[in-house]
Each structure stands twice: as structure tokens, then as C-alpha cells.
Chains A and B, each alone.
Chain A
């Protein structure tokens, strides 16, 4: 008896070696030779671009009949801060030049609203500031008292350090001090001018030898009351004036002899100015020194994320094709041939996932790049400004949109393998990704909307968010304005987790069930 005996395990190993590359190539052939699927995968990027070209919105906003009137802030691009980000920089500034090392100390006895219907927003602020120049967007460090958030030290627009809490009044004044040594500026606060507490230290790279130091007051429009409107967009708030009274003003250090001069930084508003009498300085200002937040007070400004809105349409095409890529095998009985040719079912599933993910990523990326470039041109041509963003941030938005499509395709494929029927799989995937996004945008508000965008795969749309939320700016941080409850990559990870769990379940079921 010389018949060679091939053990079962050996055969298995050979089949395993016959390999992934062949299965991959087989799956690629299946995908590329079905005309309808190719059309679907070509349609996806075209739809992304098409929606980007559809957006002809012009700056200034349109008023809905019976709805709130959006006055807009004007369509000039905001100044750019030292970090390259768009900033709001308008306040009333009473200053003296300060050369070299030095310090400024004041006592603040009141911060109140000026004449007008609206009260102060919690982030209305007044205090002392050391700034490179009085031009909007200049590097600065400031110690301030806010109307509702206690004493703060803020510098270079995005940084905010909390100091002692509490409101200021004549009975409980606040002493503030800033000292400069080279590029280092330290902020202190005190309740009596004797015992000082350090609030924070800022390093402002490249601060010139002579800087401007002085007192400021500013108040953002009070929009908080109106930010919960039906459409999700806030209406413009009324302009408010902050009136601050300072005394015991002292500057220390080598100072050129000069008098206090006042000017409105970032454009004069009616009612602002300063007055000096009996050792008391009263400063009245309006505006904000903060990062620029599009959507706050109906502030205009587009981001690259808004040109990629078409991804929601492309997503549907991708979901349908990816589901059919799996369920068509079951419908036609092809799955039995597939498993006969490649007995490792895990490998077949992995190959399908790899092929559909790679193809949708490439198609999505092509669509996203063209949509971003064309959409940006179109927005600029219509008088909109695009907020500056880092190259890395823009890359994340564009590549992330493509990755969102790719991972959604894997989720759809896995659900196709689990259900083995198209109808259920397509509906569940659309119900998991698209429907929560729609609900959070339209019906569900507030905390429930945030939770929808935390626990469902729709969280992945956070990858398209370009402007961060800042706690020191009150704004309507809603999904409609492009703000998501999760950080971009965290939101994307939620979708990945769903896809992973679905793939795991699909592998278990496909191995256990008869084909």
C-alpha cells in the first residue's frame, strides 16, 4: 500500500498558503465586474462634489419669514492671532507704552452693563493687558475680572486660566497685576493689594522690547438667551457695553514719560471711551478678545468641513454597494462556490472587507479632494471667507471623510453577512448612521442630541469638525453649526468600534452557519 496519506491538517495548511492574495484578487474581480456596483462607487464621489457645487450660499445670511433676523457681523475676514487661528479682537484700550521689564497694577471696583436693553454676558471682561501692539490679532496676556466667571488670566486668544471666583463690587474690589520679564508675563490677583496670588504665566514668543500696557473693557453680545431657537442657529444678540472702574493704577519699570491714551481696538462702537477723574479711570468697551467662533451671534465664516456635506449622500451609495457585495453572494448561491474555492471563511470575509474598504476609501478621497477644492473656490467666489486652518487639520477632514465612507462600507458588509438579506442590512446601517445624525439635527435637542452623537456610529461625522469649541466663548455649539460632542478621532473611533464588533459577529456567524 503506497497510497500517500494526506492528513487533514496538512491540507488545511496548503489551502492556507494558497493564500490571501488569491482570495483578494477573486473578490476584487467580483467587485469590478458588476456594472451596477461600479456605477454606484463612481456615483459616490460625484455626489460629494455635486453637493459641494450646489452650495451657493452667500455671506450675510438670508432671513426666513417670521423667523429671527440675522444681522450678521459683516463679511470681512476676522484678524488672525499669533497661533494662525481666526480671532475676535475688539475692546476699548487705555494704554501707555512700556519698555523692557515692568509691571502694571490696578484695583477694579466695578464691572457693570452700560446703557442698553441687554445685561452683561458672563464673559464680559475688564482688566489689564500687556500686548505687542494695539493692532487686532496681536500677541497679548491679560488679567481680568469677568461678569460671571470670576478672575481669569487669558493670553493669545485661546488660553484661559481660572483665578479666584466671585463678582467684583465697590465693597469687594479686585487687585490685578501683570509683570513682564522678557517673553514671560505673569498674572497675579489679590483682594486687598497686600497678599497676592499668582494666577498663571504666559510665554509670548517674540514680544517686542516696547509693548503697550494698560486697562481694557469689552463685552460680547448677549446671545445666550436666543441660542436655542428652532432651526438650531442663533439669532444675533444685541450689542452690550461693559463699564469698568479702575483706581490705584500704577506702572512700574523703565517708562518713557507719556500720558494715558485711549482707543477702540478692532473698530469703534458707539458709546465706548474712557474718562479720568479723581484718580478713577472709567473704561467703556464692547466686543471680545477671544478665538473667533463661526456660528456665535450668527457670525459668518465657512470651513472646509462645510464643503464635504455631500458625504452623507455618498454614504448611502457606498452602503448599498457594500451590502450587495455580500448579500448578492447569498441571493445567487454564489457563496457556496466561493467557500468551495476558498474554504477559510474568515479569509473570504477579510478579503471582501479589505477590497470594499480600499475601493471606497480611494473613491471617497478623490471625491473629498475635488469637493473641498471646488467648494472652497465657490464659497470664496460668493464672498464668503474660509477660516484659516492648519494643513494637518484640513488633511484630517478630507482623509477622515474618505475613511468614514470606508469604515461604513465595512460595517454594511458585516451586517450583510449577518443578515444575509439586503433589505435588513441596508436599513439597519442607514438607521444607525444617517438617522441619528438627522434626528440630532432636527427633532432631538440638547443633551439627548449629544448622546445620539456619542453612542451611535453617526458620531463619526465629528471627523468633519474643523473649529474647536472654546469654553470662554458663549455660542450655539450645535450640530447644525458644525460642533460635535466628541473629539474628531474619538467620534471616528465609535464608528470603527461598531464596524469591528459587526465584523466579529459576522465571522462567528459565517463560520458557524451553513452557507
Chain B
């Protein structure tokens, strides 16, 4: 297993694209977060807005790059035929998939940590100027604050779980476009449908089971009572999605010709 991880690590780090994708996750997340900070105002105080959630909303965009990165780790081997060489060198396919998932998780955790730190920093700088300052009873965003720390660390974990989910889907469908489309569709479309349906039972159930809405419950720091799912239960549900996808991908990988 250690050698498998080593091999995957070498494959990943010797590609120039990897560094760009990692930088892309960090920059896209922090930039969209800063944009959302700048676009949110609270002129009178007591706004129905969660400042932590706003400043971490760059994850909406950052996760797309994580999906591409994680899916390509598997599917690009299929498009070039490299997968046959890989399996020849390491016949235990589940070990290969686990190694890939481990490497992806490690890289995404680092990229996600940089992205989230950048977002929180941007929020700290921008939000007080838009009505989320001590004047309106909002403390400055700080990682020393329990709920904010949960939101920030949870967002990093969220990105890592999205990476594992994508690895599993890519192993199952074996094509980059299909894998990226499937995962992004699953992530983005359900919240749109839930938002348009508004205050209905269906919308609430959708938000409870969809990987993105459930997983991002971890970003909430205020009004926890009105959430469809509690923060950790939501992240747990995303973990279940990731585990299921990984399992299906692993089984298909094992019982199908490469």
C-alpha cells in the first residue's frame, strides 16, 4: 500500500497541471468568497445572513476544481490507456484506488486549508466594512471562535470528501466529462431545485439528502435550529455519499476489465 501511494504521488506531482489545480482551488475559493463578502451588506444590523457562511461561500466554486482534479486522477489514465500499465505494475486494484483516494485527499486537504484560510482572512478584512462589525453586534471572524472554527475546518473536510466522491464516480464511469458532469450535476442542480421550490416538504427533504446542501450545513454558525440538518450530521451524510461512491467505484474497478 505504501508503494502504491508512492507511485500515485509520483504520478501526480510530476504533472505540471497538479500545481495549477491546487492553486486554482485556493484562488477561486478565496476570490469568490471575497466577492460574496463585498456583495453582502447589512445596513441596519440583525440581518438574516450568516457571515461565516458568506465568507466561505467560495467553496461553491472551489469544489468544481476539486471535482476536475479528483476525477482526472482516475479518468485520465483511462483516456491514455495508462490504467493498464498501472494495473500491470500493481495488480491489486482496490489498493490502487485507495492509494489514489489517499493522495487526492492529502492534496485537497492542503489546497482546501489554504483556500479556507484565505477566505476567512478576506472575510475578516471585508465584512466589518459592510455592516458585519462590532457596531452591529457581530464579532470579528476568528478561528478561535468555536462555531467559526467548525465552519472553517468543516469546509476543508467538505472539499476532501468531494474529492473522494469524485474519485469513486470517475472509477465507475471511466470518463472525465461524464464524471465531472455527474458530480457537478449532483452538487449544483439539487440546491437549485430546492431553492426554486421554496418552502415545501420536498425542498426540505432534497436539502437533507443532497450532498452539497447537507455537507455545507457545516458552514452554518447562526440559526442552527432552522437548518434542514445539523452541521455534523450534514457532513456525515456527505461522508456516506463519498463512501458509497468509493465502494461502487471500487467494486466496478475490481470486477470489470480495465
The answer on A and B forming one complex is yes
Which residues of A approach B to under 8 Å, CB–CB?
36, 51, 54-57, 61-67, 70, 228-233, 306, 309, 312-313, 316-317, 319-320, 323-324, 327, 331, 421-427, 430-431, 434-435, 437-439, 441-449, 480-482
Q: Which one of B66-74, B95-103, B144-152 is at the interface? A: B66-74
Residues on A with beta carbons closer than 8 Å to the beta carbon of B185: 313, 316-317, 430
Residues of A within 8 A of B191 (CB): 438, 441-442
Cβ–Cβ < 8 Å partners of A421 in chain B:
176
Chain A binder among B114-122, B196-204, B241-249: B196-204
A448 with B64: CB separation less than 8 A = no
> What are 21 contact pairs spanning A and B, CB under 8 A?
A54-B202, A62-B200, A233-B198, A306-B196, A324-B175, A426-B176, A427-B68, A430-B180, A431-B61, A435-B188, A441-B196, A444-B57, A445-B49, A446-B41, A447-B39, A448-B36, A448-B39, A448-B40, A449-B39, A480-B195, A481-B198
Quick check: A427 and B60 within 8 Å, CB to CB? Answer: no
C-beta contact mask, B192-220 vs A, less than 8 Å → 1, else 0? 11011111111010000000000000000
Which residues of B are interface residues toward A (Cβ below 8 A)? 35-36, 39-41, 48-49, 53-54, 57, 60-61, 64-65, 67-68, 71-72, 75, 79, 175-178, 180-182, 184-185, 188-189, 191-193, 195-202, 204, 223, 225-226
B41, B71, B226: which contacts A423 (Cβ < 8 A)?
Answer: B71
Contacting residue for A443 out of B57, B192, B225, CB 8 A:
B57
In the assembled complex, the CB of B71 is this many whole angstroms from the nearest CB of chain A, namely: 7
In the complex the two chains form, is A316's CB within 8 Å of B184's CB? yes
How far is B201's CA from A420's CA once the two chains are assembled, in angstroms? 43
Residue numbers in A under 8 Å from B39 (CB-CB): 444-449
The closest CB in chain B to the CB of A230 belongs to B48
The distance in angstroms between the C-alpha atoms of A260 and B36, with both chains bound, is 58
Q: Give which listed residue, A55, A66, A446, contacts B226 with CB less than 8 A.
A: A66
Contacting pair B177 A327 (CB below 8 A): yes
Chain B positions within 8 Å of A317 at CB level: 181, 185
Contact A57 B197 (CB under 8 A): yes
Which of B53, B57, B192 is close to A441, meaning CB atoms less than 8 Å apart?
B192
A22 to chain B, nearest CB (A): 28
Which residue of A55, A64, A435, A449 contacts B197 across the interface (Cβ within 8 Å)?
Answer: A55
Apart from A51-B193, A427-B67, A441-B192, what 16 extra A-B contacts exist at CB < 8 Å? A61-B199, A65-B225, A66-B225, A232-B198, A312-B189, A312-B193, A316-B181, A320-B180, A323-B177, A423-B75, A423-B176, A423-B180, A430-B64, A437-B192, A442-B195, A446-B39
Q: How far is the CA of A508 from the CA of B60 in the complex (A)?
A: 33
Q: Which of B53, B180, B197, B198 contacts A427 (CB under 8 A)?
A: B180
* B64 with A424: CB separation less than 8 A: no
Contact partner of A320 (CB less than 8 A), chosen from B178, B189, B196, is B178
- The CA-CA distance from A324 to B195 in the complex, in Å, is 30
Smallest Cβ distance from B52 to chain A, in angstroms? 12
Are the CB atoms of A434 and B184 closer together than 8 Å? yes
Q: List B contacts of A324 (CB < 8 A).
A: 175, 177-178
Task: Indicate if the CB atoms of B202 and A230 lie closer than 8 Å.
Answer: no
Q: Are B199 and A231 in contact (CB under 8 A)?
A: yes
Q: Are B200 and A434 in contact (CB under 8 A)?
A: no
Which 6 pairs of residues, A with B, have the shortest CB-CB distance?
A448-B39, A422-B177, A320-B181, A316-B185, A66-B226, A441-B195
A421 and B75 alpha carbons, distance in the complex (Å): 12
Looking at chain B's contact residues, is the secondary structure mostly helix, strand, loop, or mixed? Answer: helix
Q: Is B48's CB under 8 angstroms from A229's CB?
A: yes
Contacts between the two chains (Cβ within 8 Å), count: 150
Interface pair A233/B188, CB less than 8 Å apart: no
**A66 to B181 alpha-carbon distance, docked (Å):** 36
CB atoms of B195 and A482 under 8 A apart: no
Dominant secondary structure of chain A at its interface with chain B: helix
CB neighbours of B67 from chain A (8 A): 427
Q: Report whether A64 and B204 are in contact in the complex, using a CB–CB cutoff of 8 Å.
A: yes
Q: List B contacts of A70 (CB < 8 A).
A: 199
Are B202 and A423 in contact, with the CB atoms below 8 A? no
B34 → A minimal CB distance (Å)? 12
A434-B189, A445-B39, A445-B40 known; A233 vs B199 contact (CB < 8 Å): yes
Complex contacts, A482 vs chain B, CB 8 Å: 196
* B196 and A480 contact, CB distance less than 8 A: yes
Q: Tell whether, in the assembled complex, residue B49 and residue A427 are in contact, meaning their CB atoms are under 8 Å apart.
A: no
- Complex CA gap A66/B79 in Å reads 50
- Alpha-carbon distance A122/B139, docked complex (angstroms): 36
A390 to chain B minimum Cβ distance, whole angstroms, is: 23
Find out whether the CB atom of A443 lies under 8 angstroms from the CB atom of B60. yes
Query: In the bound complex, what is the Cα–Cα distance between A56 and B197 (angstroms)?
Result: 10
Q: Which residues of A contact B201 (CB under 8 A)?
A: 57, 62
Which residue in B41, B53, B188 is a CB contact (below 8 Å) of A438? Answer: B188
How far is B202's CA from A430's CA once the two chains are assembled, in angstroms?
A: 25
Q: Are B202 and A55 in contact (CB under 8 A)?
A: yes
Chain A residues positioned under 8 Å from B72 (CB to CB): 423
Q: Does A312 contact B192, Cβ atoms closer than 8 Å? A: yes
CA distance A233 to B196 in the complex (A): 10
Q: Which residues of B contact A313 (CB under 8 A)?
A: 185, 189, 193
Q: Which of B71, B185, B201 has the most CB of A within 10 A?
A: B185
Docked Cα-Cα span, A230 to B226, in Å, equals: 11
Q: How far is the CA of A129 from the CA of B176 in the complex (A)?
A: 66
Among residues of A, the one whose C-beta sits closest to the C-beta of B195 is: A441
> In the assembly, what is the distance between CA of A437 and CA of B204, in Å?
19
Report if A62-B178 is in contact (Cβ < 8 Å); known contacts: A434-B188, A447-B39: no
A306-B196, A313-B189 known; A427 vs B64 contact (CB < 8 Å): yes
In Å, the complex CA distance between A315 and B116 comes to 30
Smallest beta-carbon distance A44→chain B, Å: 11
Q: Which residue of A lies closest to B186 (CB)?
A: A316
Query: How many angstroms from the CA of A320 to the CA of B71 in the assembled complex?
Result: 14
Residue of A nearest to B47 (CB): A228
Of chain A, the residue at the smallest CB distance from B201 is A62
The chain B residue sitting closest to A425, CB to CB, is B177
Q: Which residues of B lie under 8 Å from residue A316 when comparing CB positions?
A: 181, 184-185, 189
Residues on A with beta carbons closer than 8 Å to the beta carbon of B204? 62, 64
The smallest beta-carbon distance between B8 and chain A, in angstroms, is: 18
Chain A residues lying within 8 Å of B180, measured Cβ to Cβ, are: 320, 422-423, 426-427, 430
Residues in chain A near residue B60, CB distance under 8 A: 435, 438-439, 443
Complex CA–CA separation, A55 to B205 (angstroms): 12
Cα A222 to Cα B43 in complex, Å, equals: 20
With A435-B61, A435-B188, A438-B192 known as contacts, the answer to whether A62 contacts B199 (CB < 8 A) is yes
